[in-house]
Amino acid sequence: MGQPVFLGHGVGLRRDHFERVLSGPARVDWFEAISENFMVDGGRPLDVLTRVRERYPVVLHGVSLSIGSTDPLDEAYLDRLLALAKRFEPAWVSDHLCWTRVGGRQAHDLLPLPYTEQALLHVVERVLRVQERLGRAIALENVSSYVAYSQSAMPEWEFLAEVARRSGCGILLDVNNVYVSAKNHRFDPRAYLEGVPRDKVWQFHLAGHSNKGAFLLDTHDHPVIDDVWDLYRDAVRRFGPVSTLIEWDDRIPEFERLEQESGRARAIQEEALQQEPVKTARGAV
């Protein structure tokens, strides 16, 4: 699968905003729904998503696939995800390049992988199995990280790029996560952008984080900071028009505040697309 259709600028569909989204037009183009929140047999969540899907494109974004785990893939989870995708026909399905489960226990966190050839082969094999099961390519998101493995033999962006190349999956490039991890691990965030293949990026995430002094923590409870907006501008100049989503998951403001953030992303993207592509030591990218 090549790059999917450009959806424009969206926000996450959160319970706090259900009534507002259903009550009238929203100044956003699409919504991203957390897959697990709608893996239910009935009730209000499915009714809301049904009504939203009638009016807007929707993307399903999961947090429990645990693609990097050594535990077997959760077949019951994949059954539910497949049923959800068939019902709502999302533009695409995504999850995270991480592990969340080991020994049958959920860590309830998005934990990073060792970036080794062995781990790469393991992840690619699992992505291929998931894609075959779902009958579609998926997208994987880079996570924020706070620890690194001494065994890692390549940078994260090279690992992510190779997973996408070998499995055919797409990349959900979280610009805030790139920034957070770059600060925590002291690498150049623009080197990350340069290392990701242009034709594999399906979507951007933008969010706020918390500065804890010694490290940054991905909390999704603040507006996007200026440095992340600047990195987003460079991402647009490198990757072109990519569907962009604002995430805000804690201390959630009024929906109109999310519309403002999404509108700023739209304006920055439009401005960046008028500029020359980012240049690197190897020339135009």
Domain 9-284 in CATH: superfamily? Divalent-metal-dependent TIM barrel enzymes (3.20.20.150)
The answer to whether the pTM exceeds 0.85 is yes
| Weakest-pLDDT range from 50-59, 93-102, 104-113, 249-258 | 104-113
pLDDT(96) > 80:
yes
Q: Are 66 and 98 in contact (CB under 8 A)?
A: yes
| Weakest-pLDDT range from 73-82, 103-112, 238-247 | 103-112
Per-residue confidence (pLDDT) for residue 17, from 0 to 100: 97
Please give the average per-residue pLDDT across 202-228, as a whole number.
97
Helix (H), strand (E), coil (C) string for the chain: CCCCCCCCEEEECCHHHHHHHHHCCCCCCEEEEEHHHHCCCCCHHHHHHHHHHCCCCEEEECCCCCCCCCCCCCHHHHHHHHHHHHHHCCCCEEEECCEEEECCEEEEEEECCCCCHHHHHHHHHHHHHHHHHHCCCCEEECCCCCCCCCCCCCCHHHHHHHHHHHHCCEEEEEHHHHHHHHHHHCCCHHHHHHHCCHHHEEEEEECCCEECCCCEECCCCCCCCHHHHHHHHHHHHHHCCCEEEECCCCCCCCHHHHHHHHHHHHHHHHHHHCCCCCEECCEEC
List the chain domain ranges: 9-284
pLDDT(284) > 80:
no
Please give the average per-residue pLDDT across 202-223, as a whole number.
97
Tens digit of each residue's pLDDT (9 = 90 or more) over 180-194: 999 999 999 999 999
Tens digit of each residue's pLDDT (9 = 90 or more) over 113-132: 999 999 999 999 999 999 99
Please give the average per-residue pLDDT across 226-239, as a whole number.
98
Tens digit of each residue's pLDDT (9 = 90 or more) over 153-177: 999 999 999 999 999 999 999 999 9
Tens digit of each residue's pLDDT (9 = 90 or more) over 34-52: 999 999 988 999 999 999 9
Per-residue confidence (pLDDT) for residue 279, from 0 to 100: 58
Per-residue confidence (pLDDT) for residue 285, from 0 to 100: 34
Per-residue confidence (pLDDT) for residue 102, from 0 to 100: 87
